[in-house]
Copies of this chain bind each other. A is one copy, B any other.
Amino acid sequence: MNNLSRQTRDAIKALQHCHFTCSSMAMTHCLELGGAHARPQHLRLMLDCAGFCAFTVEALGRKSQFHTRFASLCAQVCDTCAKDCAALGDMEECVEACRDCAARCRDIARDDHGEVLQAASATPPGRP
C-alpha cells in the first residue's frame, strides 16, 4: 500500500489491532467486570494506549517526518499498558496486542534511516 515498507505495514496492522483492542476492552470488558478492572488509572492507561495507536496509524500512513519519535513513545505506552494488564489478570487479549504493537513500534523507532523519512522529503515531479 502506497509504497510503504513491509516493516511499516506490519506496524500499522499491529497499531490498528492494539487501538481497537484497548478502546473496546476498556469500555466493555473492564467496565463490565468492575472492581480493579474499572479503576480510573487502569482505564486512563487503556485509553492513552488506544489513542496514541490511532494517532500513530495516521502518522505512519502519511509518512510523517516524526515517525521514529512517535513510534518510540508509542512503544513505551504500549509496554506500560501490557504490564498493567498482565498484573491485573483476565486481560490476555490486550496484553498480547500491546506487546506485539510495542515490538513493531520499536522496529520503526530503531530504523532511523527508514524509507518513510526519505519518501517524506522527496518532492514529487511537477510540484514547486
Contact = CB atoms under 8 A, between A and B. Distances in A.
A55 B58 contact: no
Nearest to A40: B31
Contact of A124 (B33, B36, B55, B121): B33
A128 B88 CA distance: 13
Contact of A48 (B45, B64, B127): B64
Contacts of A34: 38, 124, 126-127
Contacts of A1: 20-21, 24, 93
Contacts of A48: 59, 62, 64-66
24 contacts: A1-B20, A2-B28, A4-B24, A20-B61, A24-B58, A24-B61, A27-B43, A27-B44, A27-B47, A27-B61, A28-B61, A28-B63, A31-B43, A32-B124, A33-B124, A34-B127, A40-B120, A41-B65, A48-B59, A48-B64, A51-B59, A52-B55, A66-B77, A73-B73
